Amino acid sequence: MTGWLGRRALRAIHEFRARLARYHLQQRRVTKAALAEDPIVRDAIAQHVREHGLSETAVRRRVDEYIDEIVPQLNVLSYYRIGYNLAKVVLNLLYRVTVDYQDEASLERIPKRDVVVYTMNHRSNVDYVVVAYVLAYGAHVSYAVGEWARVWPLEYVFKSFGSYFIRRGFREPLYHAVLERYVQLITKNG
């Protein structure tokens, strides 16, 4: 990160003590290329070509569309400056948010190469805002977002927060191979 924006982003990371893997900060095209060349994705492409009688070029084009749809581009300033402050305002208008217990010593003992996965019971869309707000100091939370949010400007906002889009009702094995490999890639790389 260079220049004024890069320095602001680094300052936000340090201020929030965020555990961001290099993977979060790499360029989107690197992630897209890794996913497109993944052996399991290539096998899924070959199988789709055999089963549906389509050309490999057409199937690769479809996979590229899936990858483009799924892979976000985290913008640190968007997440930690805009998202955090917006969440703070909204939540403090609606609730009195308190964090009663956080065992920071235990969290610090987790090796940097390991990934912490938080699961929650999704009762409302506010749950995601609460979790991101509460965990902002120390963690970046990436969410799977449904196709309902693929409208302007929500799509760009969510992708800048590091969220990835999923088609919940879509049953095509090719799509699920791409999505599965993406989730494994981000989990493995933090």
Q: What is the pLDDT of residues 146-184, one digit of tens each?
A: 888 889 999 999 999 989 999 988 999 999 999 999 999
- CA dist 176 and 170 (Å) reads 8
Give CA–CA dist 108/113, Å, rounded: 12
1 has a pLDDT exceeding 70: no
pLDDT in tens, 77-136: 888 889 999 999 999 999 888 877 777 788 788 887 787 777 777 777 788 888 888 888
Peptide bond before 173: cis, by omega within 30 degrees of 0? no
Other beta carbons within 10 Å of 88: 14
In the predicted model, is pLDDT for residue 186 greater than 60?
A: yes
In the prediction, which pLDDT does 99 show? 74
CB atoms closer than 10 angstroms to residue 105: 7
Confidence at residue 20, expressed as pLDDT on a 0 to 100 scale: 63
pLDDT digits (tens, 9 = 90+) for 29-55: 889 999 999 999 999 999 999 999 999
Q: Which of 1-5, 70-74, 100-104 has the lowest mean pLDDT?
A: 1-5
- Comparing 139 with 73, the larger pLDDT belongs to 73
Give me the pLDDT at residue 58, please.
Answer: 98
- Most distant CA atoms of the chain, gap in Å: 58
pLDDT of residue 23: 60
